[in-house]
Amino acid sequence: MSCGGRRRGETGVPGYPPQNGPVTATLVLRVDVDATVEQTWAGATDWDRQGQWMLGTSVRPTRQGGQGVGGGIEAFTGIGRFGFLDTMDITGWDPPRRCHVVHTGRAIRGTGDFDVEPRGKDRAVFVWREDLELPLGRLGRLGWPLVRPFFAYGVRLSLRRFARWVETGRPDA
């Protein structure tokens, strides 16, 4: 028994932490874009240039040019040769509104989506969602509350950069 009368690992919340299977962490962030839905979609699916707005990440299409269900993309996040490769299969594709991926790599597993929602005449909202399986079992569960604010900050900053990048016509770096 630990302090508080509960057995080690008990939280007092029924079903948490889960005893079997992966723990999923969800992150949903939005950014307003002063551009049409079509322009916003074109920017989001310009895989080769995603590194111009996504912090520390380079992306490239693999299968089918990264277009449509069955297509693939991979993203390397890191500095130099130190980092990790995130491989993804596209499992949902509804231009210019939605892309759904399954993360299939060793380091990153789970699902991700981006949605482009209309907001007035020439404006859109870009919604980024990740449902990630936390690695490292119990350590991952315990560490996520510490890592989440930094991860969310990086994605939020990247999405702001994305909005500016699309709004200025997606210039080359």
Could you read off the pLDDT of 60-93 as tens digits, one per residue? Answer: 999 999 999 999 999 999 998 899 999 999 999 9
User: Which CATH fold would you assign to the domain 24-167?
Assistant: Alpha-D-Glucose-1,6-Bisphosphate; Chain A, domain 4 (3.30.530)
What three-state secondary structure class fits 75? strand
Query: Per residue in 127-166, pLDDT tens?
Result: 999 999 988 888 888 999 999 999 999 999 999 999 999 9
Nearest-angstrom CA–CA distance, 46 and 124: 17
CB 102 within 8 A of CB 93: no
Q: What is the pLDDT of residue 141?
A: 87
The domain locations on the chain are: 24-167
Helices (H), 12-136: 37-44
What three-state secondary structure class fits 24? strand
Query: Per residue in 7-23, pLDDT tens?
Result: 434 434 444 444 566 78
Nearest-angstrom CA–CA distance, 67 and 135: 29
Predicted model pTM: 0.84
Q: What is the pLDDT of residue 16?
A: 43
Q: What is the pLDDT of residue 21?
A: 67
Distances (CA, A) of 79 to 85, 94, 104, 122, 144: 12, 33, 21, 36, 22
Nearest-angstrom CA–CA distance, 44 and 101: 13
Q: What is the pLDDT of residue 7?
A: 40
Q: What is the mean pLDDT of residues 103-115?
A: 94
Contacts by residues 58-65 (CB-CB < 8 Å, ≥ 24 positions apart): 62/87, 64/90
Q: What is the mean pLDDT of residues 45-68?
A: 96
Helices (H), 16-172: 37-44, 137-167
Q: What is the pLDDT of residue 107?
A: 84
Residue 4 has pLDDT above 70, yes or no: no
Q: What is the pLDDT of residue 56?
A: 94
Q: What is the mean pLDDT of residues 36-64?
A: 96
Q: What is the mean pLDDT of residues 117-126?
A: 95
CB 103 within 8 A of CB 85: no
Tokens of 149: 């604010």
